[in-house]
Every structure is written in structure tokens, then in C-alpha cells.
Amino acid sequence: MRVFLAGTSFNLAYGGPAFSVGGLAKALSATGVEVGLWAPDGSALSNNPALSGVRGLAGTPAAALAAFGRPDVVHDNDLWRFHHHALAKLAATQGIPRVVSTRGMLEPWAIAHKRWKKRVAWTAYQRQDLRRAACLHTTSPEEACNVGRLGLGVKIACIPNAVDVPEAGVLAAARAGARRDKIALFLGRIYPVKGLPMLVEAWARVRPPGWRLHIAGPDEAGHLAEVKRAISNAGLADVVDFLGPVVPARRTQVYAGADLFVLPSYSESFGMSIAEALAHSLPVLTTTGAPWPMLAAKGCGWQVPPSAGAIASALAAAVSTDDHELKAMGERGRFFVAANFGWAAVAEAMIELYREAMAAGTRQNRV
């Protein structure tokens, strides 16, 4: 099987899709699938070890497809940008089945963000491009439900992202060394959808003694300045640290240095950082904007509505939990992720989805 796998960017500062799509490419390759990996910024040619064993491609969509040779399936990730439309047209013209991973781009918050531009794109090309796909892929039942409400008339498959689970010895080594303060960690893009001002307000209400808040990740759209103003206005500058973007080699160290992971997002299609935090034995506090209702049921975290008050209540509960129970919650989360989000199982599920897409063919003649 030959798969042309496209993403918006594989620069790791781009966030979750850079990890999940790049990791999928490697996992597919391990099964014998020939993978051509492409992004419009040329980042598929990087030396990121997560992409080893995969053929990186660059140039325009047409040039990249030509260089790779005719694939059995085009698998595109994300929506709205013009290169997605170009790939849709190429796949339709050449009769290549196309799978589209929506990656949260059809969630209510995402559609409302820059609404007018998206309305124009939806009418001009995006709706038709989605209807011509052989299949739409989502990473959670909640996302599948939201996509289904659009009435596109296309099969929707739900396959979660996978995550690397570090060995226990690696985690223990990374945690070696005494720490004076406990750490609550946010790791992700510093962007409005992530809800950081809500977290700042919640932290100001609780002001947990003996705890610090670490905020790690790249600034996007200048949102970092807004977050820093909120921290300053709340008088929290002495307990909040900004770690900046975290390269892959440092991620385990950053997760291992924390006691609690916090993701206060308004909307997540999957929440890759939640899976990563659980894999690193961290209990998680997040919102109902992330599709992780199992956190409470599995005894590995808290999930509350996306509001400062609700986050403050959960934060108060989390920081009052004794060290032994926090560690036990983290271990339960690690076990759960290891059992349910392995790369081999996800790769096999995607291969089966590609087979179904190949059998169904394209929808290029659909209006």
C-alpha cells in the first residue's frame, strides 16, 4: 500500500498534529506501508527522528504527488487552507481516494473563530471538498458527532491518536533530584483556544501555597503578551514560569518535572498533550472542551466546564490531594494510555480505513 500523508506543518512548534501525523507516518512505515510525507512549508524534509523511515516531500501539492508517484490513498490532515483544496482537486482529477482527518477544525469553537473567512471558504470550496472525500477521520466520538451534524453524507471513522509511553526507568531518571515546589504544568500552543487567561484567573482565586505554574509552548498570534498581562494584573508573576517551546528531547524532562498537568481549553478534538501527560504518569485537570470524560472514571484526573470558577474548584481539589494519591492517579493514567493508545493498533486501524476508502473509490462526481 502507498499512502500520500499530508499535514499543515511538521515543525513541532505547530502543536499536536505535528506529533500525531508524524508519528502515524512512522507507525505506518513500520507495517510495510510506503509513506510519502508532505507539508507546504517543507518541514517533512526535517531530520526529526519521529519521521525516520518515511520519504519526506516538498514543493507544491502537484510536484510532491508527482515525485512520490501515484499513491493508493491521499490522507490529508486539517482544513481551510488553500493547499487542502489543491490536494482535493488533484485527488479528484486523478481518481485517488482521499481520507480527510478534520483535526478539530470543524469543532464549534474552531468554526466560530474567524467566522467570516470560514464562511467564505465553506461556500467556495470546503464543503464540496469534504463531500468528495472517501471518508472523514475524527479522533474522538465527540468530534465525530460534531462533524456528523454538518450533514455531509460521508462516512465518518473515529480512530484516536496514539502516544509514546516512556519506560518506567526513563521516567524515574528524569524525576531524580529534589524539588522545593510542586509544579502544575501547561504544555501546548499559547493560543486563545487553550484558555490560559481562565487558568490564570483560577490560579489567582486559589493561590495554592507551595505550588508553581509552568507554561510551556510556542506563542501563536501574539497571545503570549495577553497571558503575561493577565498574570501581572493578578499579581502572580512570582509563581508563574514560562518555559518557551519544548523540543522533543526535553518533553519527558518537562513532564517528569511536574506533579499535575492542566489543559484549560475551550475546544480540543483529541488533546494530544493530555495523552502525553498521562503517559508520563501525570494526573490531568482539563475541561469538557477536551474529549476525555474517562478521566474521573479511570481515577486519573478532573474534567470540568471551561470557566474560571469551575477550573478553580478543580484546582483546589487537585492541590489538596496528598502526594501518594496524586502519584497513584498518575500511574492509573499511564496504564490506561498504554492499554488504549498504542501506535501499532492505531496504524492497523488506519490501514483498514485506507482499504475501505480504496474500495469505495472517490466521490469526485458528487455535487
Nearest to 209 by CA among 180, 234, 175, 176: 180
| Residue 115 and residue 226 in one domain | no
Give residues with Cβ within 8 angstroms of 358, minimum separation 6: 72, 73, 97, 134
Looking at residue 335, its pLDDT comes to 93
Q: Do 236 and 299 belong together in one domain?
A: yes
| pLDDT recorded at residue 15 | 63
What is the residue range of 270's domain? 168-340
Q: Do 284 and 157 belong to one domain?
A: no
Residues 6+ apart with CB under 8 A from 3: 28, 33, 34, 35, 36, 71, 72, 73, 74, 75, 354
Same domain flag for 101 and 199: no
Burial pattern 226-257, b for ≥16 Cβ within 10 A else e, equals: ebbebbeebebeebbeeeeebeeeebbebbbb
Which pLDDT score is estimated for 47?
52
Q: What is the pLDDT, as a whole number, of residue 327?
A: 94
Question: What pLDDT, on a 0 to 100 scale, did the predictor assign at position 48?
Answer: 58
- 173 and 313 inside one domain: yes
Taking the chain (367 residues) in runs of 10, the rounded mean pLDDT of each run is 93 72 91 94 74 84 96 94 93 95 87 87 92 94 92 94 85 73 94 96 97 95 96 97 89 93 94 94 96 94 97 98 95 93 91 94 46
Same domain flag for 148 and 40? yes
pLDDT in tens, 121-172: 889 899 999 999 999 999 989 899 999 999 999 999 999 989 888 888 888 8
Are residues 352 and 307 located together in one domain of the fold? no
What is the model's pLDDT at position 179? 65
User: Both 187 and 336 in a single domain?
Assistant: yes
pLDDT the model gives residue 51: 63
Residues 193 and 80 in one domain: no
Give the residue carrying C-alpha cell 492509573.
Answer: 332
Residues 89 and 236 in one domain: no
367 within some domain: no
Tell me, yes or no, whether 215 lies in a domain. yes
Q: Strands across the sheet with 55-57, in order?
A: 55-57, 34-38, 2-6, 73-77, 98-101, 135-138, 156-158
Domain membership flag for residue 365? no
Report yes or no on 12 lying in a domain.
yes
Q: What does the pLDDT read at residue 367?
A: 37
**What pLDDT is attached to residue 364?**
43
Q: CA 26, CA 54: separation in Å to the nearest integer? A: 6
At 49, give phi and psi (nearest 5°). Answer: -60, -20
315 belongs to a structural domain: yes
Burial class (CB in 10 A: 0-12, 13-18, 19+), 151: exposed
Sign of CA dihedral 201, 206, 212, 214: negative
Residue 354 lies in a domain: yes
| Residue 351 domain flag | yes
Could you tell me the CATH number of the domain that includes residue 322? Answer: 3.40.50.2000
**Is residue 10 within 8 Å of 39, Cβ to Cβ?**
yes
Residues 97 and 192 in one domain: no
Number of domains in the chain: 2
Instruction: Kindly state whether residues 154 and 192 are assigned to the same domain.
Output: no
Please report whether residue 129 resides in a domain. yes
For 240-273, what is each residue's pLDDT tens digit?
A: 999 999 887 788 999 999 999 999 999 998 888 9
